[in-house]
């Protein structure tokens, strides 16, 4: 997820005036630490909690309720209890509610952005954009879901068949931590708009904004039980939720490894599942491209959100004659980026989400060095004045990369780029397709014929030409190969959240019979 056109920011409910570093500075109504079930906040049945940490300081922010088996039962029962009434509403009424949710989010933009900034460590300007992106998905499905149509199939003898679309029931929403609010918008808006009830389990690294969103949805008028939020680790709360017999559909965004486990668990009960998984996207630059733009957007692509982006263009494939020129442009731009305090509006990059994720990035950079690749810039932690305990890392560019090296094949999820040269179009496509993932790709060229050839040949769910990271709720987005299953965006996504039922209306005189 990344930049997209957003509407202007409406007046916001301000916090204390400055951007906060401590939960105690947030207004009380923004700070929820308990499970949200059936329209109310409550502690876990067994009283357990887990800490959430501020990545900019390394300090704990708050203890959050940890949902166990009883809590999962209660939340699924609450969703089931609310489902029939919600599914039976006039779809236009559900649409109006989604629109009110979007408006309530925009009214509380600053509060949501600050909570996200505190919990995730991403720059505040990106957090604000994330609120607008999230609201845009609620607006989109507010418009689209009341107008979903299905087909009527005519037959001879005055018979016809028509297809009803029915909501699936209780949907478990399990997103990653890298874009919490946008991912809630993407998944919850489509689920609710089509008449499903939701149990959301946010990532354990970023529980706070989900709990605030739940209160804003209630403020907008969403009936109790239609949206429930269970906080807790994936390995415990997430596992319980995906295996719960009361769950009719699972929509997951996260790593390919966990996606496979969830698909296997869903397979046990034949539960519908959609998966948005990892990536190792190629960004292919031909010699005739606008190199200045390719460098600027190429840098944005692997560093935005601290490189914690599923569709990040982390493999820059460059036609050999312009390799050195592009690398020089890219390196100069990378060295001008500001890794800084997430509260500072001038920071381009904030903190990596956790100590663990930072170690993972360091491990990959070390493996790159071991494989013989050269660090052109970066390759170390970044120091941010006043935040010595924060998880900051410098934008890092590798050349002389062996195409078989781990840094050229595995998802790192940090601001690390592998640059590989190619000699012709055929080699570019071969390198682009040489990984297990197939989420996204960039192509930079002024040759229109090549645009069509390469876009068609690259194995990816979305190909950006002379741009990257343009997303819209109206444009379907899907992972190929090990990057996913199912569609997000467009009416295609809305249909994922429904089951078709065909009704065949015949005539009794023509009904089949033996005698
Ligand atoms: P993750 O797979 O570790 O966790 C994702 C979610 O699943 C979290 O809510 C987590 O608590 C939960 N979870 C973890 N183990 C579970 C289990 N065994 N059963 C049920 N739930 C479980 O991923 P992450 O580290 O949070 O996110 C990073 C990954 O997400 C990257 O691979 C990234 O590419 C991917 N991602 C993909 C997209 C996309 O649209 N394709 C978007 C964003 C992120």
Q: Whose CA is nearest to atom 6 of ligand 1?
A: 176
Strand partners, 319: 422
On the question of pLDDT at 11 being above 50, the answer is no
Cα–Cα distance measured from residue 428 to residue 408, given in angstroms and rounded to the nearest whole number: 14
CA 195, distance to chain mean position in Å, is 22
pLDDT score for 13: 37
Cα–Cα distance measured from residue 67 to residue 207, given in angstroms and rounded to the nearest whole number: 12
Mean pLDDT, rounded, of the chain: 94
CB atoms within 10 A of CB 227: 28
Where does residue 434 rank: exposed (0-12), middle (13-18), buried (19+ CB within 10 A)?
Answer: middle
The DSSP code for 17 is: S
Cα–Cα distance measured from residue 123 to residue 113, given in angstroms and rounded to the nearest whole number: 10
Cα–Cα distance measured from residue 254 to residue 285, given in angstroms and rounded to the nearest whole number: 28
Q: Whose CA is nearest to atom 40 of ligand 1?
A: 276
Cα–Cα distance measured from residue 500 to residue 152, given in angstroms and rounded to the nearest whole number: 12
Q: Can you read off the two tokens belonging to residue 83?
A: 């489902």
Helix (H, G, I), strand (E, B) or coil at 418: strand
- Name the CA dihedral angle for 78, 79, 84, 88, rounded to a multiple of 10 degrees: 130
Q: Which domains does the chain have, with CATH numbers?
A: 21-277+487-498 (3.40.605.10), 282-465 (3.40.309.10)
Q: Can you read off the two tokens belonging to residue 318?
A: 């460059």
pLDDT score for 464: 98
pLDDT in tens, 56-91: 999 999 999 999 999 999 999 999 999 999 999 999
Q: Can you read off the two tokens belonging to residue 493?
A: 């996504």
pLDDT in tens, 118-144: 999 999 999 999 999 999 999 999 999
pLDDT score for 23: 75
Backbone angles phi, psi at 419, to 5 degrees: -105, 125
Helix (H, G, I), strand (E, B) or coil at 35: strand
pLDDT in tens, 103-115: 999 999 999 999 9
pTM attached to this predicted model: 0.95
- For residue 41, the CA-to-ligand 1 centroid distance in Å is 25
Query: Could you tell which of 4, 255, 359 is best to mutate to test the pocket of ligand 1, judged by most ligand atoms within 8 Å of the CB?
Result: 255
User: What is the set of active-site residues?
Assistant: 276
Q: Is the dihedral of CA 6, 458, 444, 371 positive or negative?
A: positive
Cα–Cα distance measured from residue 145 to residue 164, given in angstroms and rounded to the nearest whole number: 14
Backbone angles phi, psi at 172, to 5 degrees: -90, 120
CA distances from 92 to 162, 194, 196, 299, 499 (A): 21, 11, 15, 43, 19
pLDDT score for 1: 40
3-state SS, 313-331, equals: CCEEEEEHHHHHHHHHHHH
Q: How confident is the model at residue 20 (pLDDT cuts 50, 70, 90)?
A: low
pLDDT in tens, 177-217: 999 999 999 999 999 999 999 999 999 999 999 999 999 99
Ligand 1 cavity residues, CB under 6 Å: 174-179, 201, 203-204, 233-235, 238-239, 242, 253-255, 258, 261-262, 276-279, 310, 411, 413, 439, 479, 484
Alpha helices in 89-170 (DSSP H): 91-107, 109-120, 124-144
Backbone angles phi, psi at 489, to 5 degrees: 95, 145
pLDDT in tens, 440-467: 999 999 999 999 999 999 999 999 999 9
pLDDT score for 4: 37
> What angle separates helix 291-303 from helix 323-336, to the nearest 10 degrees?
50
Strand partners, 341: none
> What angle separates helix 425-432 from helix 448-457, to the nearest 10 degrees?
30
Cα–Cα distance measured from residue 162 to residue 213, given in angstroms and rounded to the nearest whole number: 38
- For residue 241, the CA-to-ligand 1 centroid distance in Å is 14
CA distances from 208 to 14, 136, 350, 388 (A): 18, 20, 18, 24
Tokens 């966990």 correspond to what residue?
258
| Residues found in the chain | 515
**Contact 50/232 with Cβ under 8 angstroms?**
yes
CA-based Rg of the chain, rounded to a whole angstrom? 24
For 226-238, the DSSP string reads SEEE--S-IIIII
Q: Whose CA is nearest to atom 9 of ligand 1?
A: 203
């Amino acid at each position: 997820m990344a930049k997209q056109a957003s509407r202007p920011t409406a007046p916001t409910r301000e916090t204390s005036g400055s951007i906060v570093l401590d939960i105690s500075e947030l207004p009380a109504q923004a700070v929820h630490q308990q499970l949200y079930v059936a329209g109310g906040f409550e502690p876990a049945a067994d009283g357990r909690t887990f800490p959430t940490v501020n990545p900019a300081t390394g300090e704990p922010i708050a203890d959050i309720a940890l949902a166990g088996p009883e809590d999962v039962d209660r939340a699924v029962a609450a969703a089931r209890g609310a489902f029939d009434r919600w599914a039976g509403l006039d779809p236009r009424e559900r649409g109006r509610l989604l629109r009110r949710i979007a408006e309530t989010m925009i009214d509380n933009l600053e509060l949501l952005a600050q909570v996200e900034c505190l919990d995730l460590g991403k720059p505040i300007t990106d957090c604000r954009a994330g609120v607008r992106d999230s609201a845009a998905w609620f607006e989109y499905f507010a418009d689209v879901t009341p107008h979903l149509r299905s087909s009527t199939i005519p037959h001879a003898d005055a018979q016809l068949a028509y297809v009803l679309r029915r909501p699936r029931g209780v949907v478990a929403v399990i997103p990653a931590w890298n874009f919490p609010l946008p991912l809630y918008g993407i998944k919850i808006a489509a689920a609710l708009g089509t008449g499903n009830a939701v149990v959301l389990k946010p990532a354990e690294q970023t529980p706070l904004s989900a709990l605030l969103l739940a209160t804003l949805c209630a403020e907008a008028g969403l009936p109790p039980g239609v949206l429930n939020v269970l906080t807790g680790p994936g390995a415990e709360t997430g596992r319980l939720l995906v295996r719960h017999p009361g769950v009719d559909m699972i929509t997951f965004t996260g790593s390919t490894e966990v996606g496979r486990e969830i698909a296997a668990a869903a397979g046990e009960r034949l539960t519908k599942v959609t998966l948005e998984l990892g990536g190792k996207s190629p960004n292919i630059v031909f010699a005739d491209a606008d190199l200045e733009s390719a460098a600027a957007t190429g840098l944005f692509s692997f560093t935005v959100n601290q490189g914690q982006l599923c569709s990040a263009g982390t493999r820059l494939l460059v036609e050999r004659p312009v390799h050195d020129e592009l690398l020089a442009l890219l390196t100069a731009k990378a060295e001008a980026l500001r890794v800084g305090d997430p509260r500072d509006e001038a920071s381009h990059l904030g903190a990596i989400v956790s100590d663990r994720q930072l170690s993972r990035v360091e491990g990959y950079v070390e493996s790159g060095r071991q494989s013989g690749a050269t660090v052109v810039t970066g390759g170390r932690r970044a120091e941010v004045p006043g935040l010595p305990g924060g998880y900051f890392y410098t934008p890092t560019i590798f050349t002389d990369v062996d195409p078989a090296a781990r840094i050229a094949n595995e998802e790192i999820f940090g601001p690390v780029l592998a640059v590989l040269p190619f000699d012709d179009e055929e080699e570019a496509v071969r390198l682009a397709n040489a990984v297990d993932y197939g989420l996204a790709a960039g192509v930079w060229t002024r040759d229109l014929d090549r645009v069509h050839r390469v876009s068609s040949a690259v194995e990816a769910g979305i190909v950006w030409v002379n741009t990257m990271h343009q997303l819209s709720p109206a444009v379907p987005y899907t992972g190929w190969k090990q990057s996913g299953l199912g569609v997000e965006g467009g009416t295609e996504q809305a249909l994922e959240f429904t089951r078709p039922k065909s009704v065949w209306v015949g005539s009794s005189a023509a009904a089949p019979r033996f005698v």
